[in-house]
Amino acid sequence: MKVLVMYDYPSGTGGLATQGALLYRGLQELGVDVFPVNSASAQEKEWYYRWFCPDVVIGVGYWGHTPDLVLHPMRYGIKTIPWLVADGYIANYQEILESLPLILVTSRWVKKMYVRDGLSGDNIEVLPVGCDTDAFIPRDKKDPKVSAVREALGVADDQLMVLTVGGDAASKGAQEVMQALAINDAKSPDWKYVCKVWPQPRTQAQNSADMQLATQLGIEKNVVYETNIISRNFMPYLVAACDIYAAPSRLEGFGMVQVEANACGKPVIGINAMGLLDTMVHKETAFLAEIAQEIRIRETIVGDEAGHGENHRVIFKSPRTVDYRASVHDIANYMMDLMSDKNLREKMGEAGRKRAVQLFDYRVVAKHFVKLVSEKMGIS
């Protein structure tokens, strides 16, 4: 089997880039003849088509990347498999995607979104995102690399560190977490809440709004926003430095960092919805807060990514849920349970580690991919 993996290569720290890089690495370790290429590089992709002659290309992205992931290789007669996430609404390319022999998605919820928005689902299979369970491992807080992270973040040895990681924190449920921490503050052990967000213009206003909320709640001295650029080399130690990973995300097609936190032996607080229904087990590896609110829209504006002109208005026949909010009171109760019981944290962390290794290790995912391609497309 000769495979060309298309993603954001050379890979940075983003979720899609990591998703592609780990699949490439897993296939390579399985002995598959495989190469990586940037999905947006038309010239380099064509170069591989001509001399490498892949049996199949797999492209990581979302529906808006269909021209790069699907149409480009099809133009050269190359079999293609998109491995897709969802962004709340699939606005175009349904007919093209429906014609493919195989589409991979990151969770059952993502498949549900594609079916809701026009695909039959007959050619859609779930392939989870891989996790490097050799790098994301349980580590002692006295490990100098771990203790250095906590020290740099201003977290004392006797403080509990709650962590959220994302492009921005609000989309990962940070505002709901802050409200929960404020509810518990008077009765909880000493804590510090660290939000690691990506430095980019679009998140500056959101970060300011989040910190304003922390000030209004009176917990601003315990909330740390870090906006430095970091690499995947640093991430395992950042996650290992926390005591609780909290991300009751507003939109989550898989939950990569939640899985990485479990791999590090950390309990997770999430939301009982979307991709986390596949990756977390309530009261075993994570506490999943119930949905308090669904954000629905009756119309949206799409543009070039959907094959339309700018500011094209789409009106839905019925309202579409595009965002969720987790119950703050559920988060507060689960947070208190975890903060006050070290044994519970350790028990859930151990269960999370076991599940991450069994189901989400990048080598397991690569084997699953090879099996799906063999069974669904007859390529071996």
- 266 vs 12: which has the higher pLDDT: 266
Confidence band of 338 (pLDDT split at 50, 70, 90) = very high
The pLDDT of 92-104, averaged and rounded, is 96
- Assess whether pLDDT exceeds 70 at residue 210: yes
pLDDT of residue 305: 65
Question: How far apart, in whole angstroms, are the C-alpha atoms of residue 143 and residue 116?
Answer: 47
The pLDDT of 160-168, averaged and rounded, is 96
Q: Exposed, middle or buried: residue 53 (CB in 10 Å: 0-12, 13-18, 19+)?
A: exposed
Q: What's the sign of the alpha-carbon dihedral 13, 19, 23, 26? A: positive
Question: In the beta sheet, which residues pair with residue 361?
Answer: 131
SS3 content of the chain, % helix, strand, coil (to 5): 45, 25, 35
> For 134-156, what is each residue's pLDDT tens digit?
999 999 999 999 999 999 999 99
Question: How far apart, in whole angstroms, are the C-alpha atoms of residue 18 and residue 5?
Answer: 12
- 229 vs 346: which has the higher pLDDT: 346
Which of 20-24, 182-186, 297-301, 350-354 shows the lowest mean pLDDT across its residues?
297-301
pLDDT of residue 317: 78
Question: How far apart, in whole angstroms, are the C-alpha atoms of residue 336 and residue 340?
Answer: 6
Three-state secondary-structure class, residue 82: strand
Question: In the beta sheet, which residues pair with residue 323?
Answer: 295
pLDDT of residue 307: 62
The pLDDT of 343-348, averaged and rounded, is 98
The pLDDT of 79-104, averaged and rounded, is 92
- 207 vs 285: which has the higher pLDDT: 285
pLDDT of residue 13: 81
Domains of the chain and CATH, by start: 2-130+361-377 (3.40.50.2000), 144-290+327-359 (3.40.50.2000)
> For 292-308, what is each residue's pLDDT tens digit?
999 888 887 776 666 66
pLDDT of residue 308: 62
User: In sequence order, what DSSP letters do the residues of 132-149 get, joined into one string?
Assistant: -TTTS----TTSHHHHHH
- Percent of the chain surpassing pLDDT 90: 85
DSSP state, residue 129: P
The pLDDT of 47-76, averaged and rounded, is 97
- 22 vs 300: which has the higher pLDDT: 22
Question: How far apart, in whole angstroms, are the C-alpha atoms of residue 252 and residue 250?
Answer: 7
Half-sphere exposure of 232 (CA within 13 A, CB side): 21
Average pLDDT, the chain: 94
Pairing of β 291-302 and β 312-326: antiparallel
